[in-house]
Amino acid sequence: GRLRDKLAATQRSFTRGLSDLLLGNRALDDTLFEELETLLLSADVGVETTRHLVSSITDQVSRKQLKDAPAVYGALRQGMLAILEPCDRRLTIAPERPFVIMVVGVNGVGKTTTIAKLANHLKNKGLTVTLAAADTFRAAAIEQLKTWAGRLDIPVIAQHTGADAAAVVHDAMNAAVARKADVLIVDTAGRQHTQEGLMDELRKIRRVINKTRPDAPHEVLLVLDAGTGQNALSQLKHFREAVGVTGLALTKLDGTAKGGILLAMARQTGLPIRFIGVGEGMDDLREFNAAEYVDALLP
């Protein structure tokens, strides 16, 4: 389906509000800019990014560069693009083999589903994929990954619940080399007894990957639930400090009115937004495209 339809929830509140505000004949007065600010905040664009967008527009209005509401609409679109475009950098699978993608994120954000969708996406590009089930903390995680691997007909390297995650990763690295796999996707724990315990475990996994291949992991992909809004930003900060995130996957954008969170993420972190999740199906992981995203949000 079209991205626009997938983002229906954000569409309903944000887009309709914007049409009323900017596509008619409204005067460019304080009320209009206050309403615009409220709309941006309600879509979870965040205080700082909202101020940045609105003040750039009011500056242009006072310099007589924008004369009516439709011109403000154009300036808003440009402002949103300028924020998102630097983060529109696709994940390219470099020639190194295996290309190692370490996937991190707290439980419940859609990490396992995203891994399955990503594996499917890479497989459809003609690449061979191996999975490593290194979330050994949660019993269901290994089973869930095995189920997906079975459906996608992709090998998965796993041990029992409670096994040493580093040992699983070590095995998986060797298996991926032996099979000449193009890509190894490593699932990791999303919860431990403590937050520090989790970050220690992720650092350990990272070290094991790096010991086997000094240039790996080639990507540390953080999965975040876009519906958790500003909370996702604080998760990002923790993971970034602990394991050095190189790309983001933002899930559940179909079920939230908070699609503006991508603007806050982009402006505050500058990290590449590799993928967006817009549903539970295998085809519901999209490569992020700034222009397509902005056009899906705007009326």
Q: Does 15 bind ligand GDP (CB under 6 A)?
A: no
d(CA 152, CA 112): 13
d(CA 160, CA 197): 20
Whether residue 6 is annotated as binding a ligand: the answer is no
Stretch that binds ligand GDP, among 44-52, 91-99, 160-168, 277-285 (CB under 6 A): 277-285
Q: Does 109 bind ligand GDP (CB under 6 A)?
A: yes
d(CA 223, CA 235): 10
Whether residue 74 is annotated as binding a ligand: the answer is no
- The vertex-239 CA angle with 235 and 242, nearest 5°, equals 145
In angstroms, the Cα distances linking 130 to 122, 171, 202 are 11, 12, 19
Nearest distance from C-beta of residue 158 to ligand GDP, angstroms: 15
Pair 180, 127: CB distance under 8 Å: no
d(CA 171, CA 181): 14
Nearest distance from C-beta of residue 5 to ligand GDP, angstroms: 13
d(CA 132, CA 154): 11
Q: Does 112 bind ligand GDP (CB under 6 A)?
A: yes
Whether residue 204 is annotated as binding a ligand: the answer is no
d(CA 283, CA 167): 32
- Give 241 or 280: the residue with its C-beta nearer to ligand GDP: 280
DSSP codes joined into one string, 17-39: HHHHHHSS----SHHHHHHHHHH
Q: Does 190 bind ligand GDP (CB under 6 A)?
A: yes
Q: Does 120 bind ligand GDP (CB under 6 A)?
A: no
Stretch that binds ligand GDP, among 78-86, 93-101, 105-113, 159-167 (CB under 6 A): 105-113
Q: Does 252 bind ligand GDP (CB under 6 A)?
A: yes
Whether residue 187 is annotated as binding a ligand: the answer is yes
Binding residues for ligand GDP, rule CB under 6 A, total 18
Q: Does 278 bind ligand GDP (CB under 6 A)?
A: yes
Q: Does 161 bind ligand GDP (CB under 6 A)?
A: no
Q: Does 251 bind ligand GDP (CB under 6 A)?
A: yes
**Which residues contribute to the site for ligand GDP (CB under 6 A)?**
105, 107-113, 190, 251-252, 254-255, 277-280, 284
